[in-house]
Amino acid sequence: MLVAGIDVGGKNVHIVLMKDGTMLEKGAAPTGIKKAEAVEQLYDKVLRQAGLKREDVEHVVATGSSGRRVTFAQGVIPEAAADARAVVRLIPSARTIIDVGAEEGRAIKINSEGRVLDFAINEKCAAGTGTFVDTMARALEITVEEMAKASLQSTQSIPMNAQCAVFGESEVVSLIHAKTPKHDIARAVHDAIAGRIGSVARIVGLEKDVVMIGGVAKNTGFVESLKRELATDVLIPDEPDFVGALGAAVAAETGVIEEKVETRVVERQDYEESSN
């Protein structure tokens, strides 16, 4: 059976074609402003690469924050459900999933069958998302990849005062002016996001093994910060950014086209007011 899983995220679209349980072809492209168009184009490209046509695909299931934009999908499932299905296939011992994408960070507690037991998400605030990393890399005038590497060379931990990405940018600029080594700033940035993700993860509770997925999982510097924050090892599957799409494909294969997941939305992470 040939199926497709499509993950339309805040920054990128990921598509996976799966045949009888094995990944056949995959592709990624920026979501851009015209999301539906980006999906159509990438879908045709991936099919072309595999030498297939749309008619050859039996089921299409979409996921992601803009999963509903996939007009030709038979169903749309929540990201948490997609993540859970894929992760348990890739790493059967996984019980906690941490998924950090461009515009959200979520923690999912799962059982051995890949069912979602508990789920918390921050999607209201850029602190604790991939966007925060991108913003700070821009302020540092280096790429995200360079920042990841730099952060691993850091020997000292500098706490960042700003939680907000907007204020964080000014803070990074001040740190640069104060001649703080770039690698130490890079680590400070990763530590800050790890702190935010850690607080989301602690809402669902940490149970081993902890697996991290999503685009930010490719950032080795961040993964180190997260390990320190959670004081536990964090496993990363190959191509962690394709996990959502893979999960949608797995759902398509098993005929699941609708699924509900109870969500705990983290409202700007209880840091809003303070008084003295």
Partner 1 sequence: MAEEVREFWRWPESHWANPDIDWKQGKIITSGVDVGSVSTQAVIMVDGELYAFSSTRTGSDSPDSALKGLSIALEGTSMTADNIDYCIGTGYGRVNVPMAQQTITEIACHARGANFVYGSAVRTVMDMGGQDCKAIRCDERGKVIKFMMNDKCAAGTGRGMEVFADLIGVPVWEIGPRSFQVEKEPPMISSTCVVFAKSEVVGLLEEGEPENDIIAAYCAAMAHRIVELLNRLGVEKEFAITGGIAKNEGVVKRLEKEIDVKTMEKVWHNPEYNSRNYPFDTQIIGALGAALFAMALLERGRVKSARKA
Query: Contact positions toward partner 1, by CB under 8 A?
Result: 10, 33-34, 103, 124-126, 131-132, 135, 163-167, 170, 174, 177, 268, 271-276
Q: How far is the CB of 10 from partner 1 (least distance, A)?
A: 8
Buried b / exposed e across 50-88, counting CB within 10 Å, b at 16+? Answer: bebeeeebebbbbbbbbbebbeebebbbbbbbbbbbbbb
Q: How far is the CB of 242 from partner 1 (least distance, A)?
A: 23
Q: Which of residues 171 and 259 has its CB atom nearest to partner 1 in the complex?
A: 171
Q: How far is the CB of 250 from partner 1 (least distance, A)?
A: 30
Chain position carrying tokens 């700003």: 162
Q: How far is the CB of 164 from partner 1 (least distance, A)?
A: 5
Dihedral angle over CA of 106, 90, 57, 43, nearest 10: 50
Return the structure tokens found at 54.
Answer: 């749309």
Q: Which of residues 131 and 154 has its CB atom nearest to partner 1 in the complex?
A: 131
Q: Which of residues 165 and 210 has its CB atom nearest to partner 1 in the complex?
A: 165
DSSP string over 99-124? EE-SS-EEEEEE-TTS-EEEEEEE-S
Dihedral angle over CA of 69, 71, 73, 78, nearest 10: 20
Q: How far is the CB of 176 from partner 1 (least distance, A)?
A: 11
Q: Which of residues 131 and 225 has its CB atom nearest to partner 1 in the complex?
A: 131
Q: Which of residues 78 and 168 has its CB atom nearest to partner 1 in the complex?
A: 168
On the question of a cis peptide bond just before residue 209, with omega within 30 degrees of 0, the verdict is yes
Q: How far is the CB of 271 from partner 1 (least distance, A)?
A: 5
Nearest to 198 by CA among 101, 100, 130: 100
Q: Which of residues 13 and 250 has its CB atom nearest to partner 1 in the complex?
A: 13
